[in-house]
Structure 1
């Protein structure tokens, strides 16, 4: 007895889009496939479903062998194969595609979504068009009964599809900027390390005390700039720094270069400083700490350097640097014998539009700068 042949339905796959390689490259450049759900996209499909009065709305991204949904309402799968994809047909058409009755359309009459559960009858999709003109998917709505969208619904779906692309472009730019900052940070750090090594080598080869002091001054100034760079890179390129984190980070970096017998303690009130102000404070603090390390604690005497930044109301700030050493002997010019340290600290105070006061005595040293943010 001859076995009856089972008739198989031949699902109609969409044609391969023109410039498919470029289209897929564009899609993958957004790094969005297989990412977690995001409220911005969930809100878009929820709004599209409500406006179009459909049970299903999807942000569908058409990959090489699948369609993946960045956001979805009323549809459980996160992705489907292309034989179930109406969107793979839609991206071949104009900006907007409406299929009032999938059973009557040659592209979709045998689509599994139509002939099986959930028996989708209606489809409308607005293409997601990248700035280079490549279509990466659709914002679509589906219904279980044949129907038409009115003009307002069609226009709203197209507007929302452009909003999807705006969100994708924004995230792409943020990623590119972050990668650029990371590369810049890497190059700058390498440059800092090279220059610091050259300064140390130069200092070891110089015998003249004044020249050594000048090189030490340059190395401290360089260290202040390096610390500011480190702090700014953690702020994602913003034009201001947080007072607490900046002074704390600066204190840690200065501690790394201080002898074990000297502790550096920092404290600050919450607030923000402009980048230029942070740079000036870094210069003053670095000079004060270097001066204390060199003169305040002779014979490996233990001691403490305290650095504080206090809010004084109405945008006023007080920077105060103290040590409890007694070895300054009245030196107020900084840790070099040329007077360059004093000049640079004065210049930094001028940059803050502040007034610098210093008192170096037998019981320790204090330096204060009052300024406005």
Structure 2
């Protein structure tokens, strides 16, 4: 006898599909549950069974050798209409299963016991069940164990759903923050074009824009990153370099090379700010007379080695005057030093190679 649809079938199916678990690969977290259930209940078959609209699909199974079967042969589709735990001692004597083609043969499925997999909204999405090829009965310990394992399956699924929803919310927040920061950056550029006639005012607007764009870049990378609290160093620095290139004069080229390692978000924003300030200073001091030149941003290390971000230009300006502490440039220098201190890094600047050089060295963490 084929089971009737659940009284709240539409909501039940929506609940099931929200878990994004149908048609996923086998996983040890679920395989271990069915193996343990089979052993504890001393039966050859155990299944984590999810009841879809036209099929029952097995997230994990032992003793079946398939991933799904049609609802017409599903015992669990009857169970989700019943109480939280169902035990059928002999399927050939139960009206729900007597005419089931999987139960009718002599060596067919003759025993069934299943505990509901119930979502927090109270709707059943499937069962954790055990089966045998002969009539059987569980003792009280086995029934309790099956119920407990079913709750463990639901806790695992609920945890994954919560993490998925948290990631969706975080991505939405990152997307909105990124858009808001980009709007603010556009407003700053508008004010700079209207009111930045004085050199000091113009430089102040530029400094503000760089900080906003660095933060906006981080949020964009977070929005696109598959990791929860990190971005890839090479992609992130290349994006920062691309933004700096867009605002650089045509005679200055900005190049970037970095390893593909995960960079915690707590480090990314300060690194972007420091890098942006160095490039801005190089453009002003090393290439201020329209002399063609290059600024290189290089990352190295990571893991058990100190991560280093090296910025250098070839502007042949080996010395730079110390800026007035109250000037915009002096403020930029203090922000660079404060950003380095914030992440426990050392910051060294001075002549190097053909021009000016900066080395930002972060402590080895083993995580990046």
Q: Smaller-chain TM-score range?
A: 0.7 to 0.9
**Structure with larger Rg:** 1
Partner in structure 2 of residue 55 of structure 1: 44
Partner in structure 2 of residue 43 of structure 1: 32
Pairing 1:366–2:357 present:
yes
Alignment of 1:9-24 (within 5 A): 12-24=1-13
Q: Is the 8 A contact 1:330 1:361 kept in 2?
A: no
Partner in structure 2 of residue 303 of structure 1: 293
Q: CA RMSD in A?
A: 3.4
Give me the whole-angstrom Cα distance separating, in 1, the residues matched to 2:139 and 2:73: 26
Give me the whole-angstrom Cα distance separating, in 2, the residues matched to 1:242 and 1:66: 41
Q: Is the 8 A contact 1:292 1:328 kept in 2?
A: no
Aligned residue among 279, 286, 307 for 1:289: 279
Alignment of 1:162-311 (within 5 A): 162-206=151-195, 207-233=197-223, 234=225, 236-238=227-229, 246-259=236-249, 261-266=251-256, 275-308=265-298
Normalising to structure 1: TM-score of the pair?
A: 0.81
Give me the whole-angstrom Cα distance separating, in 2, the residues matched to 1:338 and 1:248: 25
Pairing 1:30–2:19 present:
yes
SS in 2 for 1:25: helix
Which piece of structure 1 moves more, 180-189 or 13-22?
Answer: 13-22
User: How much does 1:341 deviate?
Assistant: 1.9
Partner in structure 1 of residue 117 of structure 2: 128
Q: Is the 8 A contact 1:331 1:360 kept in 2?
A: no
Pairing 1:143–2:124 present:
no
User: How much does 1:115 deviate?
Assistant: 1.9
Give me the whole-angstrom Cα distance separating, in 2, the residues matched to 1:108 and 1:30: 29
Partner in structure 1 of residue 331 of structure 2: 340
User: How much does 1:100 deviate?
Assistant: 1.1
- Cα offsets for 1:25-65 (capped at 9, x unmatched): 32222122333333332332233233333332222222344
Which piece of structure 1 moves more, 149-158 or 94-103?
Answer: 149-158
- Cα offsets for 1:66-125 (capped at 9, x unmatched): 322222223245333333221122223332211111111122111222125962111111
- Cα offsets for 1:146-201 (capped at 9, x unmatched): 11223333233222211221221122122212222222232223223322222222
Give me the whole-angstrom Cα distance separating, in 2, the residues matched to 1:275 and 1:250: 14
User: How much does 1:216 deviate?
Assistant: 0.7
Give me the whole-angstrom Cα distance separating, in 2, the residues matched to 1:222 and 1:293: 19
Partner in structure 2 of residue 9 of structure 1: none
Aligned residue among 92, 97, 107 for 1:108: 97
Partner in structure 1 of residue 142 of structure 2: 153
Give me the whole-angstrom Cα distance separating, in 2, the residues matched to 1:360 and 1:201: 36
Pairing 1:93–2:82 present:
yes
Which piece of structure 1 moves more, 127-136 or 349-358?
Answer: 349-358
Count of aligned pairs = 360
Structure 1 unaligned residues grouped into runs of 5+: 1-11
